[in-house]
Structure 1
Amino acid sequence: MRYVKGQKELTRSRILEVASRRFRGEGVAAVGLAGIMYDADLTNGAFYVHFKSKEDLLQEVIVDTLNRRLQAMIAASAEGLGLEQGIRDYLSPQARDAADEGCPTAALVAEIARHPEETRDLFTRKIGEFLDFIANNLPGRDPITQRKDAAALFGMMVGTLQLARAVSDKAMSDQILEGGIEAGLAIVRRQQ
């Protein structure tokens, strides 16, 4: 049976979308290929037409999801929404409560650290692109300070979101988010 023109790309995109949502919401280790394919309404055998392995799928999810996130940040910046609004959005209760739709870094970073070097190298390159974007939006600093502040800001935001998701006390979670916003804004507003 032949695919209709463009069908293979649509199928691959559907698998990526489902895997991205499931990986972020449940964790890579907790999600099996059969579950991904079931949610994508495809047979298990169809997986190997598109990906070599679950690790290959994870790598594609990292690239796809982080590329989309970066493009959204660039678009928001072009619309005049700066880092301050980005911090507020990233550390919002809505972002906290929607892990399966949110930042793949906050959702997956602990697991990625335990994956093969090839996956970690890919993740490192993509995070480098985020740090470059953030650094370029921190004016009034020398390049070394820009990069350090970008790394501190991004790391603080990811950790804040992870901690806010992990605690069971909603009031405490809200305080963690509010504290993260204040700390992030202090980094952005800091002058050399």
Structure 2
Amino acid sequence: MGHSRQEKAASHDRIVRIAAGRFREAGVDGLSVAGLMQEAGLTHGGFYRHFGSRDELVAEALDEALAQSRATVAAAREAGAGYDAIVAEYLSPRHRDAPGAGCAVAALASEVGRLQDKPREAFTHHIEASLDGFLRLLRETNPAATRADALLAVTALAGAVAIARGVSDPALSDEILQGVREKLAALAGPDA
């Protein structure tokens, strides 16, 4: 007996969610379709009932990973977190040490430029939304904050986490997170 539309949609969503996490952990090229389908509890052959190509999966999974990143920040904001708290959490050892659950930008920025147009468009949309969000966040404590300040914050956050994950010296990794956190605090204004 065939799967219902609801079951197929649920399976599709599960594949995309799992792929989003695996992309953050191992990169786009580190994802095995066979391994992904096995983890989703489906057969390898079933992949093409859900996606026309691997590129289609990449586009959807990147979009999902970016949406998960936005949702994490939105949840922190709803819980009352301001700029300093969001920066501190982003630049925490916990975030650095959990790429599969962390920010898709820090995990995948270096790969996105080599992808097709659709994933790059999703990435661009996410970066624009992040810039707008960080500018609003900065202006809560520093009304003079500019788009350039938001650009600095967003790129420094993602870059710091990416580099902190890449270095082999744990002390240097911690120093990167702490140093960038201290410098980004200045963007919030003198009274923050």
Question: Contact conserved, 2:91 with 2:157, CA < 8 A, in 1?
Answer: yes
Letter in 2 for 1:133: G
Identity fraction in percent: 35
Q: Residues 190 and 116 (structure 1 numbering): CA distance in 2 closer, same or farther, change over 3 Å?
A: farther
Residue 8 of structure 2 corresponds to residue 8 of structure 1? yes
Give the match's secondary structure for 2:20: helix
Partner deviation per Cα, 1:122-173 (whole Å, 9 max, x = no partner): 210121111111111121445xx53211111010000100110011111111
* CA displacement at 1:68 relative to structure 2: 2.4
Cα RMSD for the two superposed structures: 1.7
Q: Which residue of structure 1 lines up, in the alignment, with residue 152 of structure 2?
A: 152
Question: Contact conserved, 1:136 with 1:146, CA < 8 A, in 2?
Answer: no
Is 113-122 or 21-30 further displaced after alignment? 113-122
Q: 2:181 and 2:120 mapped to 1: Cα distance?
A: 28
Letter in 2 for 1:168: S
Q: Which residue of structure 2 lines up, in the alignment, with residue 82 of structure 1?
A: 82
Give the match's secondary structure for 2:28: coil
Question: Contact conserved, 1:135 with 1:150, CA < 8 A, in 2?
Answer: yes
- How do 1:166-181 and structure 2 match up within 5 A? 166-181=166-181
Q: 1:161 and 1:33 mapped to 2: Cα distance?
A: 27
Give the match's secondary structure for 1:73: helix
Q: 1:64 and 1:118 mapped to 2: Cα distance?
A: 13
Q: Which residue of structure 1 lines up, in the alignment, with residue 138 of structure 2?
A: 138
Is 123-132 or 133-142 further displaced after alignment? 133-142
Q: 1:31 and 1:88 mapped to 2: Cα distance?
A: 30
- How do 1:1-192 and structure 2 match up within 5 A? 1-4=1-4, 6-139=6-139, 140-141=142-143, 146-189=146-189
Question: Contact conserved, 2:63 with 2:119, CA < 8 A, in 1?
Answer: no
TM-score, normalised to structure 2's length? 0.90
* CA displacement at 1:4 relative to structure 2: 4.0
Gaps of 5+ in 1: none
Letter in 1 for 2:100: D
Aligned residues: 189
Runs (4 or more) in structure 1 with deviation over 3 Å come to none
Partner deviation per Cα, 1:38-95 (whole Å, 9 max, x = no partner): 2212112211222222221121122222222212322321321112111111111111
TM-score, normalised to structure 1's length? 0.90
Letter in 1 for 2:95: A
Question: Contact conserved, 2:106 with 2:158, CA < 8 A, in 1?
Answer: yes
Q: 2:71 and 2:166 mapped to 1: Cα distance?
A: 28
Letter in 2 for 1:166: G
Letter in 2 for 1:130: S
Question: Contact conserved, 2:69 with 2:102, CA < 8 A, in 1?
Answer: no
